Amino acid sequence: MYTQALDSVNATIPIETRRILLANRAQAFVLCGIIREALRDLNHALSPQYTNEDSAKILTAKYFYRRAKLLCTMARYDEAQADYREFADVMRGIGKEISGEELMLKEDLDRRAAAGDDSEQKQRDELMRAIDVSATSIHTSHDPKLNNTSQARGFIFRSHYRATFPLPPPDEQERLGPDFDPGSMTLSFDTLNSKPNHHLPDPNLTPILIPVIIRAPFYFPNPNDKQAPFWTREEKPVCENKTIGSFIDGLFTSVAAFSHEHRASLPSAMAHDRGGVVVMISFRGRMFKIPRETTIKDVVAGARWPRQSNAPTFEDLRQTPRRRSDEIDGIDLMRGWMIVVYVVAKDKLGEL
């Protein structure tokens, strides 16, 4: 609804009306857990294009407060604190009191920002920033903490899974059973101490290990059971610098040879191994055809939208154009902790 309204506005519509529409759409995105697009809209609403001396001060304060909350969710505390200060300054300037709930955000930000280097909070936050939206600052400041050009991978990471990150949500952990070890089977930095390498120019670029699920919707290990297509989870998280082929090649033939029951599926297994097409599906349903020699890191970079400079390009099996050129898309961090790789025999691509 808000998108339709924004698309239909013209030069006669007051800037303040457009600003309100942007901020309201951002709030709708937050409620849907799509916080990257929410951040984009709030950035626009608070930009000089939409916010000026004539803008309603109470709305300006409200938008700074909303963005501070959003940045806190993304573990971008320096920027969130800067926005909170802007919010508080505007509120004081118009003689409005700050509520107890609003003060609680400041206390939460201060506590999180002060977390010790060895704390679980700090390690979780560093990992979240490394996989999330680019951490390039939205602020212009002489403070070096705010004017950074730190990079992140750009996974789509929905807000309702952040509370348990990097662990799966509780219902998922229950389904995984007692053999699931949170200490070794979740997303982490690929270092001996599972922390980012602060000797790098950008610690966010420390390699990460990612849990991987492999699904083959048209391969049935037991040909008599068409209700059970193949899927498996890699025993250990996979380094992002590994190629897709490093854990896909030969997989299906080995499954078919594992037992007498599965040998009847050997022809299908060979079709998946020799001619199977690797497909990864983005948050917005784009179906990218991925060469097996592609690293996971390059898959994530190539699936980002808007596209980054020098990112790999993959064939999109969906031929329909994107709804908006500025939509935000990328590889979905499924349920906040894993990625899914699909393998499809060539003759089945049309059935996706």
Write the pLDDT tens digit of every residue in 55-88.
999 999 999 999 999 999 999 999 999 999 999 9
* pLDDT > 90: percent of the chain: 66
In a domain, 88, yes or no: no
Q: How many domains does the chain have?
A: 1
In a domain, 264, yes or no: yes
pLDDT at residue 58, as a whole number: 97
Whether residue 249 is predicted with pLDDT greater than 90 in this model: the reply is: yes
What b/e readout covers 87-117, taking b as 16+ CB neighbours within 10 angstroms?
A: bbebbeeeeeebeeebeebbeebeebbeeee
In a domain, 97, yes or no: no
In a domain, 62, yes or no: no
pLDDT at residue 160, as a whole number: 86
- Which of 51, 50, 46 lies closest to 65, judged by CA? 46
- Residue-wise pLDDT tens digits, 261-302: 667 889 999 999 998 999 999 999 999 999 999 999 999 999
In a domain, 70, yes or no: no
Q: pLDDT band at residue 304, thresholds of 50, 70 and 90?
A: very high
pLDDT at residue 79, as a whole number: 95
If you average pLDDT over every residue of the chain, what do you get? Answer: 88
In a domain, 265, yes or no: yes
83's tokens: 């926005």
pLDDT at residue 34, as a whole number: 86
Tokens 């984009």 sit at which residue? 40
Q: Which domain holds residue 203?
A: 159-352
pLDDT at residue 147, as a whole number: 42
pLDDT at residue 260, as a whole number: 67
In a domain, 336, yes or no: yes
Whether residue 143 is predicted with pLDDT greater than 50 in this model: the reply is: no
In a domain, 246, yes or no: yes
| pTM: predicted TM-score of the whole model, two decimal places | 0.86
